[in-house]
């Protein structure tokens, strides 16, 4: 793994491109977040076409996997899978299977059935379910309720009241798909980001991509900067979708065991080779908390983490602490820390 650039839950830092390079970029609102693509190409038309293909792929995945679109494949699953097996695409099957693997790895800290309670929260309107409502719906949260049949490529739910939401892994999957599209077009230097999930292809034409991890309590602040190449990084934080009431912060990263916002950390950044992995693990480690989450990261190969706990203190995985001088935490920008 080589230590990207961007502001996912981080902040995008501009770098100076070589004079012969043609850097092209575009940002659009897709999947409920900011999607950005930046590519280097000697031919402007070809580069623009590549970026357009990225945006088209993002829209396709959003149309398929959004829980908010009534006609999406995911919505059809939630409508029917408790009563009958539902035929699903190989892509959907694969991503749900991957999600269940992450659930097993994290002992349920990652669970796509969190939506069985999660759908009752409205962060824009500042609405949270009551304890009574959570208690009633909580039995629906259990990844073991999701049953996949590889012979028929179907999914069904083991009981009524189960809903799934791929929000903790779908954007990472979309980013990986887009990087594959760019590779197939012969592009060797690029960045694709969807909200808190970013992956870079190659380097920034001879220089590393610089990723700044956002300060969870200051929108324009940052707590670290990482030079990265050919890798992915995802940040999950309690500051993007949330509201406060009665002195309590209600955010969208729910603990599947309680149906309530996970506590103990403010943000988790995961670095690994692909964005599907970093997306799922950033959510998982956030739910597990600093100690258990970092212990999980230390057991995994080629995965690193930066955790900002609920006091604002930063914690690094051992491989980052032992990194080369160019990538070591001692070289990171850590203002206000």
Q: Across residues 102-112, what is the average pLDDT?
A: 98
Q: Is 79 a domain residue? A: yes
Report the relative pairing of strands 304-309 and 265-272 from DSSP bridges.
Answer: antiparallel
CA distances in angstroms from 236 to 85, 95, 287, 296, listed in the order given? 33, 19, 10, 16
Q: Is 91 a domain residue? A: yes
Q: Is 109 a domain residue? A: yes
Nearest-CA neighbor of 179 among 167, 166, 165, 189?
189
Tell me the C-alpha distance between 264 and 286, whole Å: 8
- pTM for this prediction: 0.89
Per-residue pLDDT at 4: 41
Per-residue pLDDT at 212: 86
Number of CB atoms found within 10 A of residue 299's CB: 9
- Tens of pLDDT, residue by residue over 162-216, are 999 999 999 999 999 999 999 999 999 999 999 999 999 999 878 899 888 999 9
Q: Is 23 a domain residue? A: no
State the residue range of the domain holding 128: 70-157
Rg for the chain, CA atoms, rounded: 20
Which residues are within 8 A (CB) of 136 and not within 5 positions of it... i.e. 6 or more apart? none
Q: Across residues 289-313, what is the average pLDDT?
A: 97
Report the relative pairing of strands 265-272 and 232-237 from DSSP bridges.
Answer: antiparallel
In the predicted structure, residue 157 carries a pLDDT above the cut 90? yes
Three-state SS for 156-217 is EECCCCCCCCCCCCHHHHHHHHHHHHHHHCCCCCEEEEECCEEEEECCCCCCCEEEEEEECC
- Tens of pLDDT, residue by residue over 115-125, are 999 999 999 99
Domain total for the chain?
1
In the predicted structure, residue 327 carries a pLDDT above the cut 60? no
Q: Across residues 30-52, what is the average pLDDT?
A: 95
- Tens of pLDDT, residue by residue over 47-106, are 999 999 999 999 999 999 999 999 999 999 999 999 999 999 999 999 999 999 999 999
Per-residue pLDDT at 85: 98
Number of CB atoms found within 10 A of residue 145's CB: 21
Tell me the C-alpha distance between 304 and 1, whole Å: 9
Q: Is 99 a domain residue? A: yes
Per-residue pLDDT at 273: 97
Q: Is 125 a domain residue? A: yes
Q: What is the mean pLDDT of the chain?
A: 90
In the predicted structure, residue 13 carries a pLDDT above the cut 60? no
Per-residue pLDDT at 329: 38
Nearest-CA neighbor of 250 among 122, 137, 131?
122
| Band of residue 22 on the pLDDT scale cut at 50, 70, 90 | confident
Q: Is 129 a domain residue? A: yes
Tell me the C-alpha distance between 213 and 235, whole Å: 8
Q: Which residue is it, tokens 């962060």?
A: 123
Q: Give the bridge partners for 234, in sequence order.
A: 197, 270
Q: Is 118 a domain residue? A: yes
Q: Tell me, what CATH number does 142's domain have? A: 1.10.3980.10
Q: Across residues 304-328, what is the average pLDDT?
A: 82
Whether 175 contacts 193, CB under 8 Å:
yes
Q: What angle do CA 212, 38, 266 make, to 5 degrees?
A: 25
Q: Which residue is it, tokens 């610089």?
A: 210
């Amino acid at each position: 793994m080589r230590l990207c650039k961007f502001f996912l839950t981080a902040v995008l830092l501009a770098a100076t491109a070589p004079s012969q390079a043609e850097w092209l970029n575009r940002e659009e609102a897709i999947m409920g977040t900011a999607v950005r693509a930046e590519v280097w190409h000697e031919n402007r038309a070809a580069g623009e076409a590549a970026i357009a293909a990225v945006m088209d792929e993002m829209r396709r995945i959003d149309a398929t996997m959004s829980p908010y679109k009534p006609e999406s494949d995911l919505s059809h699953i939630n409508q029917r899978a408790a009563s009958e097996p539902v035929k699903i695409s190989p892509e959907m099957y694969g991503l749900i299977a991957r999600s269940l693997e992450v659930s097993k790895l994290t002992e349920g800290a990652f669970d796509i059935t969190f939506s069985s309670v999660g759908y009752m929260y409205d962060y824009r309107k500042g609405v949270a379910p009551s304890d009574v409502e959570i208690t009633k719906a909580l039995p629906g949260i259990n990844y073991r309720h999701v049953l996949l049949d590889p012979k028929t490529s179907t999914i069904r739910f083991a009981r009524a009241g189960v809903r799934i939401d791929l929000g903790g892994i779908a954007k990472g999957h979309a980013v990986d798909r887009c990087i594959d599209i760019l590779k197939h077009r012969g592009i060797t230097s690029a960045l694709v980001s969807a909200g808190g999930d970013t992956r870079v292809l190659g380097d920034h034409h001879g220089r590393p991509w610089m990723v700044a991890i956002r300060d969870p309590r200051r929108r324009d602040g940052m707590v670290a900067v990482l030079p990265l190449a050919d890798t992915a990084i995802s940040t999950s934080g309690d500051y993007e979708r949330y509201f406060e009431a009665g002195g309590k912060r209600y955010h969208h990263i729910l603990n599947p065991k309680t149906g309530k916002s996970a506590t103990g950390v403010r943000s988790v950044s995961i670095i690994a080779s692909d964005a599907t992995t970093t997306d799922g693990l950033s959510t998982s480690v956030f739910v597990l908390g600093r100690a258990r989450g970092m212990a999980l990261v230390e057991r995994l190969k080629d995965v690193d983490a930066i955790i900002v706990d609920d006091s604002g203190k930063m914690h690094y995985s051992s491989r980052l602490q032992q990194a080369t001088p160019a990538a070591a935490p001692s070289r990171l920008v850590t203002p206000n820390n």
